[in-house]
Amino acid sequence: MRKEEVDTPALIVDLEILQKNIVCMAEFAKSAGVKLRPMTKSHKCPAISHLQLEAGATGIQVAKLSEGEVMEAAGIKDIFISNQVVGAPKVDRLLRLAQRAKIRIAVDSVENMREISELAEARGVKIDVLLDVDTGIRRTGVLPRGPALKLASEVAKRPGLNLMGVYTHEGIVYRAKNKEELHELATKAARDMVETADLLRNNGIEIEEVSLGSTPGAKIVGKVNGVTEIRPGAYVFNDMQQLALGVCGERDLALSLLTTVISVPANDRAICDAGSKAAGPDSCAFGAFTPPGVMPKIEQVSRLGLVRTLDGEILRDVIFDSRIGEEYGLLQAKNCHELFKVGDKIEIIPLHCCGMVFLHNEIVGIRDDEVEVIWPISARGKVS
Amino acid sequence: MRKEEVDTPALIVDLEILQKNIVCMAEFAKSAGVKLRPMTKSHKCPAISHLQLEAGATGIQVAKLSEGEVMEAAGIKDIFISNQVVGAPKVDRLLRLAQRAKIRIAVDSVENMREISELAEARGVKIDVLLDVDTGIRRTGVLPRGPALKLASEVAKRPGLNLMGVYTHEGIVYRAKNKEELHELATKAARDMVETADLLRNNGIEIEEVSLGSTPGAKIVGKVNGVTEIRPGAYVFNDMQQLALGVCGERDLALSLLTTVISVPANDRAICDAGSKAAGPDSCAFGAFTPPGVMPKIEQVSRLGLVRTLDGEILRDVIFDSRIGEEYGLLQAKNCHELFKVGDKIEIIPLHCCGMVFLHNEIVGIRDDEVEVIWPISARGKVS
């Protein structure tokens, strides 16, 4: 089947570009002498994790325990769950998963480490733990240096836990205004982590892993002395956000959403069949949740080329907006009657690939405009 | 199993309130002498559609063809697809579906009606059609009166189509600033539709159905003379948006998201395990996509009570924000160390129920704090 025959809306990936992105990051890690542990939340697809492992990744990172369970069942045996595993039912599942695969988890509180340690000890096992360090994103995690040392000393006391490293998501880099600031923010996060690890070591705590993770930061932090592991995710696909940050070029955009024009009710708008349930919420996020002046607004992103014809031509004067409805997408332009007719198919490049992928049941792999493979997005809906 | 034992994040519904909401709308429709055809995109769950039909609904409305296929397979045989069915593969599926159930569809363009009519005629069938009329929301649809008559005359000519009505989604009511304006906007939409139907009849086109659909508008348009059908969706659950519009009260909120506090890293924030992949994008939408001054912003909505303890106490000073990450939700308050500890469970009431439901694989039905049933959200991911 050819690309244009695929029914819509459909998530499609260019297999050539995907493979190139995967190999390029693996080669960087190898040359920088760091381990690569890709974050799977961007694709939630075991087939793509396997491609990453074949290219040289040492393991994977998952966003949630349930995502880890899906990946383990698909044959992946080295998994970092970069999220707090809280509550007896989840800890029980964690310990079972740890019997089937090499698992490491994140902790950032005494309560949580106590809970996991007690259950692990009762079953006579030790769980590998990375200390969650907050390098500026202000979600979970302890602050670097002093606070990290204090919590690390608590972890080290727990018989069911084996503190083997520190980790962060240097998400702060997404707030960079330009490439220089991106470099600065990523380097600072890496230094915070290396210094924290050294402080822990100087206090008798063995720290093997100093792990950082983000796509924009990966190739910067990977070169900082003392960093042992990078964990980028979005790089497999890339998206408008990465393009806006200068992290990828137009030829590195592997993912898009195939959609059909279903109505052209006026010359200044056409309506396609991809709304917020297919294209994702992130067109919205660009206006509302990034700090003002930091990331481009939707109109600016559109200027970079959000809408593409099936021939690869970027329609820079067309603004796509998924916020007009769950089932309806807006194509805004001055000359819609010329540009679009009912039945036309176009591609939408995601603003944020992760936000689009998890809405879909499958991803259609395309090579030379022919459908080569359809992969189930098996970890879709796995949020627990 | 008791509610507090359910692993998180989990979508939960209070079965008592759900049933009350369903019966109340059915009774209104009966008393107003209109048919009730609930929109299923709000729940995407055949079990809930069956409850609605048992309470007196005459059929259902689905947002997409694929949603209709799921519902038909679950035994529901009267389905309105309120969306343009465009392209040969979809029209083929539509005609097959029409062999198994009573189907009506939406059209708003000559190109689309030609495509469907030709395939229908070739198979010797007629497809029931409702003309999509735009009463202000400016997505798909033709404008009322003149433009509607022009298109209706085209439909009437097509041998494969049977034009049996006009319909609209009076979504314009969501822009109401207060109850009076809501009443005005809904009434105007209903009058536009009735006048359009009369104009068509006066021009020799038989119009049986004059159908309007929205939760805020349902009980207003249902009383307008000439309206034959209402199609509310969100009323089964209700949400903060309906509460803000004055359409429901706090006791009518059936749906919530059970989530666990996973970290309390500072006194002004706690982090729970429900981010944008579980709670939905719509906390975002409230800031960005509703016209300024029209719908309450997230801080205002929170004042209405977005966060609830398991005992039903509404924490009015806690702001929930799902925009800090896909896996992390922010609970913002002044005294988080007092309010929350790691492992605590709370409930998040959705800003927009439809935006939360379609992220989940199942919905946990609770009665008297005990799990009674777990329903699969079978039409999840059905966006084509």
Contact B324 A139 (CB under 8 A): yes
Q: Helix (H) and strand (E) counts for chain B? A: 14, 17
Q: What is the pLDDT of residues B22-43, one digit of tens each?
A: 999 999 999 999 999 999 999 9
Helical pair B146-157 and B179-202, crossing angle rounded to 10 deg: 50
Residue B352 and residue B359: Cα distance in Å, rounded?
Answer: 12
Within the 3-22 window of chain A, which residues sit less than 8 Å (CB to CB) from chain B?
5, 7-10
In our burial notation (b when 16+ CB lie closer than 10 A, e otherwise), range A181-216 reads ebbebbbbbbbbbbebbebbeeeebebebbbbbbbb
**pLDDT value for A303:** 59
Q: Does B108 touch chain A (CB under 8 A)?
A: yes
Length of chain A as a residue count: 384
Asked whether the beta carbons of A44 and A376 are under 8 A apart, the reply is: no
Residue B264 and residue A136: Cα distance in Å, rounded?
Answer: 16
Distance to chain B for A358, nearest Cα, Å: 8
Nearest Cα residue to A67 out of A362, A374, A358, A360: A358
Closest residue on chain B to A138 (Cα) = B265
Query: A258: which 2 tokens?
Result: 């195939």
Residue B290 banded pLDDT, cuts 50, 70, 90: very low
Residue B297 banded pLDDT, cuts 50, 70, 90: low
| Residue B216 CA neighbour count, 13 Å, CB half | 29
Contact A342 B265 (CB under 8 A): no
**pLDDT value for B241:** 84
**pLDDT value for A191:** 98
**pLDDT value for A297:** 54
Q: What is the pLDDT of residues B190-227, one digit of tens each?
A: 999 999 999 999 999 999 999 999 999 999 999 999 99
pLDDT in tens for each of the 384 residues of chain A?
999 999 999 999 999 999 999 999 999 999 999 999 999 999 999 999 999 999 999 999 999 999 999 999 999 999 999 999 999 999 999 999 999 999 999 999 999 999 999 999 999 999 999 999 999 999 999 999 999 999 999 998 999 999 999 999 999 998 888 889 999 999 999 999 999 999 999 999 999 999 999 999 999 999 999 999 999 999 999 998 888 888 999 999 999 999 999 999 999 999 999 998 999 865 444 433 343 344 455 555 655 668 999 999 999 889 888 878 899 999 999 999 999 999 999 999 998 899 899 999 999 999 999 999 999 999 999 999
**pLDDT value for A106:** 97
Within the 271-310 window of chain A, which residues sit less than 8 Å (CB to CB) from chain B?
271, 273-274, 276-278, 280-282, 284-285, 287-289
| pLDDT at residue B289 is higher than 60 | no
Q: Kindly give the pairing relationship between strand A60-62 and strand A78-84.
A: parallel
Residue B313 banded pLDDT, cuts 50, 70, 90: very high
Q: What is the pLDDT of residues B87-142, one digit of tens each?
A: 999 999 999 999 999 999 999 999 999 999 999 999 999 999 999 999 999 999 99
Closest residue on chain B to A268 (Cα) = B138
Residue B374 and residue B44: Cα distance in Å, rounded?
Answer: 14
Q: Return mean pLDDT, chain B.
A: 93
Contact A142 B278 (CB under 8 A): no
Q: Kindly give the pairing relationship between strand A362-367 and strand A370-376.
A: antiparallel
Q: What is the ipTM of this complex?
A: 0.94
What domains are there in chain B, each with its CATH number?
3-9+244-376 (2.40.37.20), 16-234 (3.20.20.10)
Share of chain B above pLDDT 90, in %: 84
Dihedral sign of CA atoms B366, B367, B371, B377 in order:
negative
Q: Contacts of residue B94 in chain A, CB cutoff 8 Å?
A: none
Residue B285 banded pLDDT, cuts 50, 70, 90: very low
Nearest Cα residue to A112 out of B335, B12, B271, B338: B271
For every residue of B256-308, DSSP letters joined together read EEEEEEEEEEETTEEEES--HHHH-SHHHHHHHTSPTTTSPPHHHHHHHH-EE
Q: Does B353 touch chain A (CB under 8 A)?
A: no
Distance to chain A for B136, nearest Cα, Å: 13
**pLDDT value for A177:** 80
Residue B174 banded pLDDT, cuts 50, 70, 90: confident
Residue A54's CB: how many other CB atoms inside 10 A?
11
**pLDDT value for B301:** 62
Which of B288, B324, B342 shows the shortest C-beta gap to A288?
Answer: B288
Work out the angle at residue A301's Cα, subtended by the Cα atoms of residues A298 and A306, and round it to the nearest 5 degrees. 100
| pLDDT at residue B296 is higher than 90 | no
How far CA B90 is from CA of A6, B70, B93, in Å, comes to 11, 15, 5
**pLDDT value for B29:** 98
B36 forms beta bridges with: B230
Residue B89's CB: how many other CB atoms inside 10 A?
13
B81 forms beta bridges with: B62, B105
Contact B326 A63 (CB under 8 A): yes
Contact A327 B63 (CB under 8 A): yes
Q: What is the pLDDT of residues B62-79, one digit of tens each?
A: 999 999 999 999 999 999
**pLDDT value for B42:** 97
Helical pair A110-122 and A88-100, crossing angle rounded to 10 deg: 50
Which of B139, B264, B361 shows the shortest C-beta gap to A328?
Answer: B139
Residue B245 banded pLDDT, cuts 50, 70, 90: confident
In our burial notation (b when 16+ CB lie closer than 10 A, e otherwise), range B298-310 reads beebbeebbbbee
Exposure of A241 by Cβ count < 10 A (0-12 exposed, 13-18 middle, 19+ buried)? Answer: buried
Distance to chain B for A250, nearest Cα, Å: 25
Work out the angle at residue B100's Cα, subtended by the Cα atoms of residues B94 and B106, and round it to the nearest 5 degrees. 35
Residue B54 banded pLDDT, cuts 50, 70, 90: very high
For every residue of B6-19, DSSP letters joined together read S-SSEEEEEHHHHH
Q: Does B140 touch chain A (CB under 8 A)?
A: yes
Higher pLDDT, A28 or B285: A28
